[in-house]
Amino acid sequence: MTSASSDPTTTTSAGSDPTISPGDAKVAVVTGASSGIGEATAKELAAQGFHVVVGARRFDRVSALAREIGGTAVELDITDQSSVDALVAALPRVDVLVNNAGGAKGMASVADAVIDDWTWMWETNVLGTLRITKALLPGLIASGDGLIVTVTSTAALEAYDNGAGYTSAKHAEAVLHRTLRLELLGQPVRLTEVCPGMVETEFSMVRFGGDQARADAVYEGLTPLIADDIAEIIGFVASRPSRVNLDQIVVRPRDQATSRRNIKTG
Ligand code: 8X3
């Protein structure tokens, strides 16, 4: 895809005004855009000239972001079909979808699995990604040059102790994405899976239920990636020519070799 034309003049709330007016700009939808990788990616794509539709449950956060980048804020819950349907109805076009919403809850062995945590992880990472991707697929194909970036994780590549709820959900999300790559062969849509290792965002705060000390401990003693590192990679993907499909990108901090091996663990 070449750079989008730059006319991102509209800042509207789909919550109160379901009109998205991108002008001549290509439209990128970013889920989970209220913080971290999603927020940074929205800024990166806006800087490339996309009109970015920033979706998240925390509408106040995406609203402020949309004002900053000249995009559109949408109160979006990808686990809710009516929320996704409202977005689709408001979208005049879509060229890029960044599946970023998702996350981890808890760390427990399979023997001690917390069913509610597994349900949340599968609802968001797997079924949520399926719901929004399926809904936007006709528009992405119709664009003639669509792009789907799914932010999975190195947890989509490895299993680790006490992580099966998250690793299984990320594996499933990845297989959904990789299957779509096969099924869309011949259609004008590129698909890229980005698999990040440790990135210092709200990820660990969510995983540990808001326990700041426990979240901080994850990143102490090493240098994790930051959200901008991933956003720049997604920006690189989005700015390649249409003939170039980056299938899968695995990115970890230098200080991390696998999900459970890093310079602290040796
Ligand atoms: C999270 C990857 O390495 O922080 O998706 O567990 S890691």
Sign of CA dihedral 249, 126, 210, 149: positive
Q: Which two tokens stand for residue 156?
A: 């989509």
Ligand 1 contact via 197 beta carbon (within 6 Å) = yes
Q: Does domain 27-251 have CATH number 3.40.50.720?
A: yes
Q: Sheet harboring 189-196: ordered strands across?
A: 72-75, 51-56, 27-31, 96-99, 146-151, 189-196, 248-251
Q: Is 154 in the pocket of ligand 1 (CB under 6 A)?
A: yes
Tell me, what DSSP letter sits at residue 106? -
| Span 155-195, pLDDT tens digits | 999 999 999 999 999 999 999 999 999 999 999 999 999 99
Q: Ligand 1 centre from 226 Cα, in Å?
A: 12
Give the position of tokens 């230098």: 254
Share of the chain above pLDDT 90, in %: 91
Task: Name the token pair of 259.
Answer: 């999900």
The neighbour count for residue 169, using CB atoms within 10 Å, is 28
- Structure token digits, residue 211: 């326990």
Both tokens assigned to 246: 């980056």
User: What's the pLDDT at 18?
Assistant: 53
Which pLDDT score is estimated for 250? Answer: 98
Query: Bridge partners of 193?
Result: 150, 248
* H runs (alpha helix) in the chain: 36-47, 59-69, 81-90, 115-121, 129-142, 164-183, 203-207, 212-219, 227-238
Q: Which residues of the chain have pLDDT under 50?
A: 1-14, 16-17
- DSSP class of residue 27 equals E
- Tell me, in angstroms, the distance from the centre of ligand 1 to residue 197's CA: 5
Domain boundary assignment for the chain: 27-251
Q: Give residue 248's pLDDT.
A: 98
pLDDT digits (tens, 9 = 90+) for 88-120: 999 999 999 999 999 999 999 999 999 999 999
Distance of alpha carbon 254 from alpha carbon 52, whole angstroms:
31
The response to whether residue 153 sits with its C-beta less than 6 Å from ligand 1 reads yes
pLDDT at 23: 87
Which residues lie below 8 Å from residue 263, measured CB to CB, with a gap of 6+? 221, 222, 255, 256
Q: Is any atom of ligand 1 closer than 6 Å to the C-beta of 30?
A: no
Beta-bridged to residue 96, according to DSSP, are 28, 147
Centre of ligand 1 to C-alpha 199, Å, is 7
Residue 10: per-residue pLDDT: 42
Residue of 55, 56, 73, 51 lying closest to 64 (CA atoms) = 73
Nearest-angstrom CA–CA distance, 90 and 236: 28
The predicted model scores a pTM of 0.93
Comparing C-alpha atoms, which of 44, 141, 124 is closest to residue 84?
Answer: 124
- Give the pLDDT score at 251: 98
